[in-house]
Amino acid sequence: MPTSAGPGKEILIAVMGVTGAGKSYFIREVTGNSGVEVSSGLHSCTSKVGSYSFEHAGAKVTLVDTPGFNDTTRTDSEVLTEICDWTSETFKENRLLSGIIYLHSVTNVRMDGSSVKNLRMFQKLCGRGALRNVFLTTTQWSKVTDQAEGEIRERALCEERNFWGLLIERGATLQRFHGTRESGLKLIDQLMSNQPEALDIQDQIVTQKRTIVETDAGQFINAELIAQEKKYKEEIESLERECQAAIKEKDEEMRELIAEERARAQKKLEKAVDEKRRLEEMHAEEMRRRDIEKQRDEERRKEEQRETQEKLEKAEAEKRRKEEQHAEELRKQEEREERRIREERERAAAEARRLEELHAVQIREQQEREARIRSEEQEKSTADLKLTTELHAAQMREQQEREARIRSEEQATAAAERGRLQSMNQSLLEEIRRKEKKRGIGFNIGPVGFGIDF
Ligand SMILES: Nc1nc2c(ncn2[C@@H]2O[C@H](COP(=O)(O)OP(=O)(O)O)[C@@H](O)[C@H]2O)c(=O)[nH]1
Ligand SMILES: [Mg+2]
């Protein structure tokens, strides 16, 4: 069962093979879409690429019907162009193929030229990378009367390296489609879990920007046409010679047969030449388109460059503006910061001043307090001193008075003593005088020279 499919996911599967292989039949059976046109004869119905989607296993499965390179109504280059347009478009939309179912009718008794050419074209379109997503599928088994015969043909397809052998060696898988929806869904279920891959043609056209003629598939068609041109020219020359011989031999019947043959070869040659010319014109046209596209790309590139330059300049200007704005903001911020610091300093200075003043006031108060205390102490000590002095003075006075009193008392005592002594002396002198008088000697004794000092 598929694992990688999920809701909303698209599984893209291309159905390829020669006209008549059963591509449209397969798609109609699997999708159940009766609108898919299945051919009833040898003429092809699928001349254009057509997509048919249906819901399956929770995913949208899109089957893509492609024209074969043996289309009865279109040339190989037209078919290639049709396929290139579709593959390029889906590649640009990032829609890669999860699988390619390459159909081949098992009723084909042998590998005819168109089957081989178609397979070569398929190889060129697909490349080696996407081969692991390729189912080489045999169809129309119900039409084979002898199953064993069908199996022999299938085995021959796989064993022949020029046909499916090499592709199987390189990763493609052999499958069978039994003509029923169930059988078709079995194939799709196996492809759903594949890793989608790009085809070589998508890479060459979209990524490498080659023209269709320059792609491997385009080169293959071109080489085929050159080979055809050469082959038909040689065929015509040979028929020409045969015709001359018939004329020489006067074989009118043979000459007519050869002339018819030559006319057919001539027609084929003209067709090949025509297609080759168309291919060349297509190439020239594509080259012109590519040149115009290149020119447009160049102009777009220049325009983009100019726009990028403008954007760059704008971005530069914007950057400058932002830088200036930032610088301005920084400057303002710095100014704010400076102002804040200044204010802070001023506030701090004011606070310091206030504190100083407060301190000075406190000191002053302290000093005043101290001075007051000192003065009070001084006053007190002065008063004490005065008191002491007064006390001392009083004591001195008392002392002096006492001394004076004592002196005075002593003086008085001394004076009294002197008086007493003087009176004693007087008394003594009078005594002497009186005694002298009596003996008749008179002398005058004055106060004797002695005295008593105190
Ligand atoms: N029975 C049977 N017929 C088939 C099968 N595939 C294709 N056909 C018939 O083969 C013819 C060509 O088929 P178609 O799908 O148109 O081929 P296309 O050119 O590859 O698209 C048609 O008549 C189909 O009915 C098949 O698997 N079984
Ligand atoms: Mg068809």
For the chain, the three-class secondary structure string (H helix, E strand, C coil) is CCCCCCCCCEEEEEEEECCCCCHHHHHHHHHCCCCCCCCCCCCCCCCCCEEEEEEECCEEEEEEECCCCCCCCCCHHHHHHHHHHHHHHHHHCCCCEEEEEEEEECCCCCCCHHHHHHHHHHHHHHCCHHHHHEEEEEECHHHCCCHHHHHHHHHHHHHCHHHHHHHHHCCCEEEECCCCHHHHHHHHHHHHCCCCECCHHHHHHHHCCCCCCCCHHHHHHHHHHHHHHHHHHHHHHHHHHHHHHHHHCCCHHHHHHHHHHHHHHHHHHHHHHHHHHHHHHHHHHHHHHHHHHHHHHHHHHHHHHHHHHHHHHHHHHHHHHHHHHHHHHHHHHHHHHHHHHHHHHHHHHHHHHHHHHHHHHHHHHHHHHHHHHHHHHHHHHHHHHHHHHHHHHHHHHHHHHHHHHHHHHHHHHHHHHHHHHHHHHHHHHHHHHHHHHHHCCCCCCCCCCCCCCC
pLDDT at 446 over 80: no
**What's the CA gap between 201 and 397, in Å, rounded?**
151
Which of 308, 333, 360 is a domain's end point? 308
Same-domain status, 28 and 174 = yes
**What atom in ligand 1 is closest to the CA of residue 25?**
15
pLDDT of residue 122: 97
pLDDT of residue 454: 42
What tokens does 276 get? 């080759």
Name the closest-CA residue to atom 14, ligand 1.
22
Q: Roughly how many angstroms between the first and final C-alpha of the chain, as a whole number?
A: 166
248 lies in a domain?
yes
Q: For residue 174, report the distance from its CA to the centre of ligand 1, in Å.
A: 19
Q: Which residue has the higher pLDDT, 379 or 179?
A: 179
Same-domain status, 244 and 278 = yes
pLDDT of residue 383: 81
Q: For residue 179, report the distance from its CA to the centre of ligand 1, in Å.
A: 9
Model confidence at 430, pLDDT cuts 50, 70, 90, reads confident
pLDDT of residue 4: 45
**What atom in ligand 1 is closest to the CA of residue 38?**
16
pLDDT > 70 fraction of the chain, expressed in percent and rounded: 93
Name the closest-CA residue to atom 13, ligand 1.
22
Establish whether residue 107 lines the binding site of ligand 1, counting it when its CB lies within 6 angstroms of any ligand atom.
no
- The number of the ligand nearest the C-alpha atom of 46 reads 2
Q: Which residue has the higher pLDDT, 451 or 149?
A: 149
420 lies in a domain?
no
Same-domain status, 78 and 115 = yes
66 lies in a domain?
yes
Same-domain status, 66 and 33 = yes
pLDDT at 44 over 90: no
- pLDDT, average across residues 297-307: 89
pLDDT at 42 over 70: no
Same-domain status, 184 and 215 = no
- pLDDT, average across residues 205-213: 94
| pLDDT tens profile 261-277 | 999 999 999 999 999 99
Same-domain status, 14 and 103 = yes
19 lies in a domain?
yes
pLDDT > 90 fraction of the chain, expressed in percent and rounded: 56
Total domain count, the chain: 2
**What's the CA gap between 15 and 177, in Å, rounded?**
12
Q: For residue 376, report the distance from its CA to the centre of ligand 1, in Å.
A: 141
Exposure b/e, 113-147, CB count within 10 A at least 16 = b: eebebbbbbbbbbbbeebbebbbbbbbbbeebeee
95, 53 Cβ separation under 8 angstroms: no
Same-domain status, 55 and 141 = yes
pLDDT of residue 41: 62
Q: Which residue has the higher pLDDT, 411 or 341?
A: 341
- The number of the ligand nearest the C-alpha atom of 38 reads 1
115 lies in a domain?
yes
pLDDT of residue 10: 94
| pLDDT tens profile 318-336 | 889 989 988 888 889 888 8
Q: For residue 20, report the distance from its CA to the centre of ligand 2, in Å.
A: 7
Same-domain status, 281 and 297 = yes
Q: For residue 26, report the distance from its CA to the centre of ligand 2, in Å.
A: 9
pLDDT of residue 1: 38
231 lies in a domain?
yes
Establish whether residue 63 lines the binding site of ligand 1, counting it when its CB lies within 6 angstroms of any ligand atom.
no
185 lies in a domain?
yes
CB 78: neighbour CB atoms within 10 A?
A: 16
Q: Which residue has the higher pLDDT, 123 or 346?
A: 123
Which of 279, 308, 337 is a domain's end point? 308
| pLDDT tens profile 66-107 | 999 987 788 899 999 999 999 999 999 999 999 999 999 999
What tokens does 272 get? 């090949």
Q: Which residue has the higher pLDDT, 184 or 400?
A: 184
pLDDT at 444 over 80: no
Establish whether residue 46 lines the binding site of ligand 1, counting it when its CB lies within 6 angstroms of any ligand atom.
yes
Sign of CA dihedral 211, 215, 218, 224: positive
Same-domain status, 202 and 131 = yes
Residue among 39, 49, 71, 137 to mutate when testing ligand 1 (max atoms within 8 A of CB): 39
Q: For residue 139, report the distance from its CA to the centre of ligand 2, in Å.
A: 14
Same-domain status, 172 and 185 = yes
Q: For residue 156, report the distance from its CA to the centre of ligand 1, in Å.
A: 22
Least confident of 25-34, 167-176, 237-246, 294-303: 294-303
pLDDT of residue 452: 45
- pLDDT, average across residues 190-209: 96
Same-domain status, 175 and 191 = yes
Q: Which residue has the higher pLDDT, 439 or 445?
A: 439
Which of 266, 284, 308 is a domain's end point? 308
350 lies in a domain?
no
Q: For residue 94, give the CATH number of its domain.
A: 3.40.50.300
Same-domain status, 164 and 185 = yes
User: Across the chain, what does the average pLDDT equal?
Assistant: 88
pLDDT of residue 2: 38
Range of the domain at 37: 1-208
- pLDDT, average across residues 219-237: 95
What tokens does 195 get? 């890793």
**What's the CA gap between 185 and 63, in Å, rounded?**
11
